[in-house]
Amino acid sequence: MEDFKNQVREAAAHIGRGLDTQPEIGIILGTGLGGIAEALDETSDFLYETIPYFPVSTVVSHRGRLLCGNLSGKRIIAMQGRFHLYEGYSARQIAFPIRVMRELGVRLLILSNAAGGLNPLFRAGDLMLITDHINLTGHNPLLGPNVDEWGPRFPEMVEPYSRRLQEMAVRTALAEGILLHRGVFAGVLGPNLETAAETRFLRAIGADAVGMSTVTEVITAVHAGIEVLAISAVTNVNLPDCYQPASVEEIIATAESTGPKLVHLFRRILEAI
Ligand code: HPA
C-alpha cells in the first residue's frame, strides 16, 4: 500500500508541476461521449503514458490523455479515455486516476457512461441521472489494506450520488428542456452484453440501466470524500420478453449522437455549481 500511495503522490506531483492552478472538478466521460476536449479553454494535457505509474490504454489508437482547463468558469481535470475491468485492469488501477485527482485537489467528480436501458419507459438516446447503484462487477477498488488518510475502512454508501448535485441536475435539465430520467445503475463486469435472463434479473433487483463502468470509480470517489454526479446515456433498451440483439456499432453510434446533449447539460450544471 505504501507503494501505491507513493505512486499516486508521484503522479499527482508530476501533473501539478505542469499546472498553474489546482483543478477543482474531475470529469470522466463514457464511450462515444467525448466532446469535452473541444469545450475546454486553456487546455494543458498529459498523455497517460507520460504520467508516472498511470495506467496506459490497451488500445493503440486511443492514446489516453488527462486534460486540464476551464469549463463554465470552473477548473476542470478530465479523463479522455477511461479504463474498464473487462480490459483486464484491476479495480485498483481504475481507482488510480481518481486518487490522483483527489491528491490534486478535486472535491467533485462528474461521470457519464453508455448504458443499456432496463426500464421499459426509456428510449435509446435518453439520459438517466444515476440516483444509486448496484455493484455486480465482483470487484472492489478498496480491497486490501486501507489508507486511512484517504478514507475510512468501511465507507458509508447511503448517498453515493450527491443529493445536492442530483437536484441541481434535475433543475438544470428542466430549464434546458432536456428529458432526464432518474434511476438505479447496475455495474457489471462485461464484456459480453446480458442474456435475456440476466436482463430480467437486473430489472427484478431494481436496476433501471446497466453498464460496464462507473461503479469502481464512484466507490473510490465516495471513499475519498469526493462528491459525485453521474449520468447515463441510454444507448439501447433491453426488454427480456422481446429481447433484441443490441449491436455494439449501434450502441456507439447512439452514444455519439447523445454526446452533445450530455456535454451541454454538464456545461449548464457546471455553471450552477
Ligand atoms: N449492457 C451493458 N453495457 C452496456 C449496454 C448494455 O446493454 N449498452 C451500453 N453499455
Instruction: Spell out the per-residue pLDDT of the chain, length 273, in tens.
Output: 779 999 999 999 999 999 989 999 999 988 777 777 777 887 799 999 999 999 987 665 567 889 999 999 999 999 988 899 999 999 999 999 999 999 999 999 999 999 999 999 999 999 999 999 999 999 999 999 999 999 999 999 999 999 999 999 999 999 999 999 999 999 999 999 999 999 999 999 999 999 999 999 999 999 999 999 999 999 999 988 888 888 888 888 888 888 899 999 999 999 999
251 CB under 6 A from ligand 1? yes
Residue 4: per-residue pLDDT: 92
**What is the Å distance from ligand 1's center to 156 Cα?**
27
Q: Is the CB of 26 under 6 A from ligand 1?
A: no
What pLDDT is recorded for position 256? 87
Q: Is the CB of 270 under 6 A from ligand 1?
A: no
Question: What pTM was estimated for this model as a whole?
Answer: 0.95
Q: Which CATH number fits domain 2-272: 3.40.50.1580, 3.40.50.300, 2.60.40.10, 3.90.1180.10?
A: 3.40.50.1580
Q: For a substitution probing ligand 1, which of 31, 87, 194, 214 has the most ligand atoms within 8 Å of its CB?
A: 194
Report CA(188)–ligand 1 centroid distance (Å).
9
Nearest CA to ligand 1 atom 5: 116
Is the CB of 212 inside a 6 Å radius of any atom of ligand 1?
yes
Residue 50 pLDDT:
95
Q: Which pLDDT belongs to residue 59?
A: 60
Q: Is 234 in the pocket of ligand 1 (CB under 6 A)?
A: no
Cα first-last separation, the chain: 34
The domain ranges of the chain are: 2-272
User: Ligand 1 mean position to 153 CA, how many Å?
Assistant: 31
Q: Which atom of ligand 1 is nearest to the CA of 188?
A: 2
So what's the pLDDT on residue 60? 53
Residue 209 Cβ < 6 Å to ligand 1: no
Ligand 1 atom index nearest CA of 193? 1
pLDDT of residue 62: 62
Q: Is the CB of 258 under 6 A from ligand 1?
A: no
**Ligand 1 centroid to 215 CA: how many Å?**
14
